[in-house]
């Protein structure tokens, strides 16, 4: 029996199956993290009655907020097929700087007027912006690969942190940072709200602005972007600065959230931020993914870390499991890229 277009039913069925297979393969990078999130949530909900509660959902959101803020900028970088290994060190030095400038406000005077809190925040943002600019300059002007350039910046920022803090712990930060980092409104922590706003802003910028389209163009096919007249170096430099500023904001709010500024406080956030972006499905090869993927990746990591605490698993095994999850995401990322390349061929 033939269909209206002269195609037999078995043949039409095969065509539909083929189309479905193509769609599933092309969307594997997006589907796999979402299925992982569902599986982890269901598993921990069954394993621990205290996991699936409203209060614990709030805990997860708070726990991933700093990572989410930092991961916004890193998403821009990875979409351009680059990497930024300095984000944790920049977050740390900015958090220490805002505490340092706050503590020093009695000694830094302009016409004998103490430096106000907003100026401490501004100076800290300028510092992280300058560090991002150095990354951008090294990448685009000198031609140093982003991996090496940001690896060097990791050490530079760590050195600045050591000079500022000198082995001490600072506790005082400007009131605005203290409120946003540790305060709440209507029972919702301000840091969660800030993270949500920054994730939304990043999504809107990537999805609905010309700059966002340029980011995808550079990541998808840099040579074609250059031939089309796009200033590729300007886009690459911009995303490095964006990454540094997002890391700096995360560092300032993180210091207020943790209650102190000290050296090496944000070291674990490098792996967490990269994992959030990659586990969520953004391609390491550039041009595929976005903030939506990063949000899914944040929840996967948040649910995993929080759930493992609820089932009282060995802390060393917890680190191993996180590493295996990241490895699985990398395998899916590379495999999806190969499928895409085959489809193009």
Q: At what angle are helices 87-103 and 117-137 packed, to 10 degrees?
A: 150
Residue 101's pLDDT is 86
Q: Is the distance from CB of 323 to CB of 228 less than 8 angstroms?
A: no
DSSP state of 188: E
**Could you tell me which residues come within 8 angstroms of residue 319 by beta carbon, excluding any fewer than 6 positions away?**
none
C-beta atoms surrounding 227 within 10 Å: 9
pLDDT tens series, the chain, 345 aa:
444 455 565 666 665 555 655 555 556 667 778 888 888 899 889 988 888 889 999 999 999 999 999 999 999 999 999 999 999 999 999 999 998 888 664 444 444 444 678 888 999 999 999 999 999 999 999 999 999 999 999 999 999 999 988 878 877 889 999 999 999 998 899 999 999 999 999 999 999 999 999 999 999 999 999 999 999 999 999 999 999 999 999 999 999 999 888 888 898 899 899 989 988 889 888 888 899 999 999 999 999 888 888 887 777 787 788 788 778 777 776 776 666 656 545
Q: What angle do CA 171, 133, 96 make, to 5 degrees?
A: 5
pTM: 0.87
Query: Tokens at residue 205, please?
Result: 């910028």
Residue 49's pLDDT is 86
Distance in Å from the first CA to the final CA of the chain: 35
Residue 52's pLDDT is 84
Rounded Cα gap, residues 83 and 151, in angstroms: 10
Residue 311's pLDDT is 82
Residue 133's pLDDT is 97
Rounded Cα gap, residues 72 and 62, in angstroms: 16
């Amino acid at each position: 029996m033939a269909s209206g277009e002269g195609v037999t039913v078995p043949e039409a069925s095969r065509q539909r199956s083929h189309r479905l297979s193509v769609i599933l393969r092309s969307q594997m990078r997006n589907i796999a993290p979402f299925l992982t999130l569902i599986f982890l949530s269901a598993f921990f909900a069954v394993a621990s009655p205290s996991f699936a509660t409203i209060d614990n959902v709030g805990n997860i959101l708070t726990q991933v907020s700093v990572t989410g803020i930092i991961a916004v900028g890193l998403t821009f970088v990875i979409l351009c097929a680059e990497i930024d290994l300095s984000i944790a060190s920049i977050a740390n030095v900015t958090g220490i700087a805002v505490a340092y400038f706050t503590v020093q406000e009695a000694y830094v005077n302009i016409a004998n007027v103490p430096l106000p809190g907003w100026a401490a925040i501004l100076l800290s943002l300028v510092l992280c912006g300058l560090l991002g600019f150095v990354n951008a300059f090294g990448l685009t002007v000198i031609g140093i690969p982003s991996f090496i350039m940001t690896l060097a910046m990791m050490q530079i920022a760590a050195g600045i942190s050591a000079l500022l803090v000198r082995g001490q712990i600072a506790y005082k930060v400007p009131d605005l940072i203290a409120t946003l980092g540790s305060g709440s409104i209507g029972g919702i922590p301000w840091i969660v709200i800030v993270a949500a706003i920054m994730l939304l802003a990043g999504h809107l910028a990537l999805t609905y602005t010309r700059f966002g389209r340029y980011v995808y163009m550079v990541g998808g096919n840099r040579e074609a972007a250059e031939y089309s007249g796009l200033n590729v170096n300007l886009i690459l430099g911009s995303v490095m600065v964006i990454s540094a500023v997002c890391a700096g904001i995360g560092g300032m709010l993180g210091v207020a959230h943790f209650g102190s500024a000290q050296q090496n406080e944000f070291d674990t956030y490098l792996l967490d931020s990269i994992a959030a972006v990659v586990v969520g499905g953004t391609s390491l090869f550039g041009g595929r993914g976005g903030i939506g993927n990063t949000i899914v990746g944040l929840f996967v990591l948040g649910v995993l870390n929080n759930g493992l605490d609820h089932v009282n698993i060995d802390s060393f095994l917890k680190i191993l499991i996180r590493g295996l999850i990241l490895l699985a995401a990398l395998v899916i990322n590379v495999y999806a890229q190969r499928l895409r390349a085959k489809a193009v061929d």
